Amino acid sequence: MNTRLAHRKVELYVKKWQSKNMRISDMDELFRCYYSSVHVIRLPDKSRYQLLDQQRSELYAIIEQCCASSYKKKDTRMLPDVDEFGLYLSLAFEHFSHTLSEPFDYVQASMKYQPPPISMADNLRVFVRLVDRHLGTPGDVEKLFTRITGVVASSLLLESLRKRHFGTFP
């Protein structure tokens, strides 16, 4: 690609993000609009074996560091399981089959795959499933609801107060 043409494309991306009130003063800030991190390692030609080995070692260290960071996300349940990963991968392929100029929006894909609950009943159902999974009490309804009754009751009370559903007490 011609240097002038590449410079123009970069300027277009900078203007695009500046129109969205983003401050872009260097390439790192521009990359961060699309990626969480970018690592660049120059690999020399094959005749410089010692430098090539040093760069290979540096690349390997960066890959290990990124993998370790990824495993930390696993502990916070930010990584998808095998089925979700396959789904997001197919959504990404579908996205990039239509356009290469726009980045894949993981959040938008997540909302398409699993939209947020709409009603209070849906929210409570999701909450009960998550607590059941966390406590490891499959089938033990009494133990589950003993633990969550206070939270559910306060949620229902708060919802009724917000919507002004006042009733009479017997």
Give the DSSP per-residue string, 139-152: T-HHHHHHHHHHHH
pLDDT tens over the chain, length 170 residues? 578 888 888 888 888 888 888 888 888 888 888 777 788 888 787 788 888 889 889 999 998 988 887 777 666 556 677 777 888 888 888 888 888 778 888 778 877 777 777 787 888 888 888 888 888 877 777 887 888 888 888 888 887 777 776 666 55
- Hey, where are the domains in the chain? 1-38, 39-79, 80-114, 120-162
CA angle 25, 104, 115 (to 5 degrees): 125
CB 104 within 8 A of CB 95: yes
* Crossing angle for the helix pair 106-113 and 82-98, to the nearest 10 degrees: 120
